[in-house]
Amino acid sequence: MQAVFEKSGKRWVANLNVFWDLSVSTGPQGDNPSAFYIAEAVFDPIRVGGFVGSVAEGGSANCEVLTLCAHGNGTHTECVGHITTEKVALGDVLKQFWFDAQVVTVDIGAVGFVRLADVKAWALLGTAALVVRSLPNAVSKRNAVWSGKNAPYFEPEALAYLRDQGIMHLLTDFPSVDPEEDEGRLSAHHEWWGVPQRVMGGNVLNVGAAHPRLGATITELIYVSEEVADGLYVLNLQVPNLRTDAVPSRPILFACSELS
């Protein structure tokens, strides 16, 4: 199967049979990365009266109860509701699931975070989605324990720049676009969504001018294999319809090429 689309005055074709799953799995025998000291996800058979949801335990069917926190138990996609006082569910604002996407690679080296200078050096293609792969990119990143290790992040100014370039969907292999410890500022999140900082501890934590972007999303804890070259792709962002600000997700990249 193929999908044809136009970009920058050119026609492109996406091969829907050639794809890469960017998600890391959660649950028994899964990748199970963790961050922010969030407990590992729990998958237990339901027990109601004399029924047990486990064929191995004598039940007639498998039926599990899942306990997890999307923000720390694997690949997840979050919306502006992550930082607002009012409840905003991802399903309220994410109404499209296919996007043109660009993959870029950045070496964070000894600096440990993505700087404004880094993103300004990228030759952006004007896509709706941007997939950022960081180096080093060991496969062990899939099941990394990030808690207490000062995980990589983005400079707030870097996300402000990407926001102003019109990118709506950011995907990263970091557990968060902000530092693990930042006194609750979440400045990069605020810049990305254009949401003014809250007053915390009597101090107003300022960001730049407001650019409210309710439809923008951030997907964290992905993994982009080495076989995925930098360039243009088609992205299918698969998410469940759960009424919360962040949900487990499965972003799929499809190879594409310019039509002659």
| Residue 199, domain member (yes or no) | yes
| Residue 8, domain member (yes or no) | yes
Residues β-bridged to residue 247? 77
What are the distances in angstroms from CA 154 to CA 102, 113, 158, 159? 18, 6, 6, 7
Measured CA angle at 84 (ends 78, 87), to 5 deg: 75
What is d(CA 253, CA 98) in angstroms, rounded to the nearest whole number? 10
Locate tokens 């030759």: which residue?
123
| Residue 122, domain member (yes or no) | yes
Domain that holds residue 171: 2-26+73-258
| Residue 59, domain member (yes or no) | no
| Residue 143, domain member (yes or no) | yes
Measured between its terminal Cα atoms, the distance across the chain in Å is 18
Both tokens of 102, joined, read 């660009």
Q: Which burial class, exposed, middle or buried, applies to 74 when counting CB atoms under 10 A from its CB (0-12, 13-18, 19+)?
A: buried
DSSP 136: S
Q: What residues contact 137, with CB distance under 8 A and at least 6 apart?
A: 105, 173, 224, 226
What is d(CA 206, CA 196) in angstroms, rounded to the nearest whole number? 7
- The string of DSSP codes covering 8-71 is TTEEEEEEEEEEEE-----STTS---B-TTPPPPEEEE-EETTEES-GGGT-SS--EEEE--TT
| Residue 110, domain member (yes or no) | yes
Domains identified in the chain, total number: 1
Indicate yes or no: pTM above 0.85. Answer: yes
Reading the chain (260 residues) residue by residue, the pLDDT tens digits are: 888 888 878 899 999 999 999 999 999 999 999 999 999 999 999 999 999 999 999 999 999 999 999 999 999 999 999 999 889 999 999 999 999 999 999 999 878 999 999 999 999 999 999 999 999 999 999 999 999 998 999 999 999 999 999 999 999 999 999 999 998 889 999 999 998 876 555 444 444 445 589 999 999 999 999 999 999 999 999 999 999 999 999 999 999 988 87
How many other CB atoms sit within 10 Å of the CB of residue 230? 14
Locate tokens 């730049």: which residue?
208
Residue 90 backbone dihedrals phi, psi, to 5 degrees = -55, -40
| Residue 57, domain member (yes or no) | no
CATH of the domain at 139: 3.50.30.50
Count CA atoms within 13 Å of residue 154 on its CB side: 33
| Residue 38, domain member (yes or no) | no
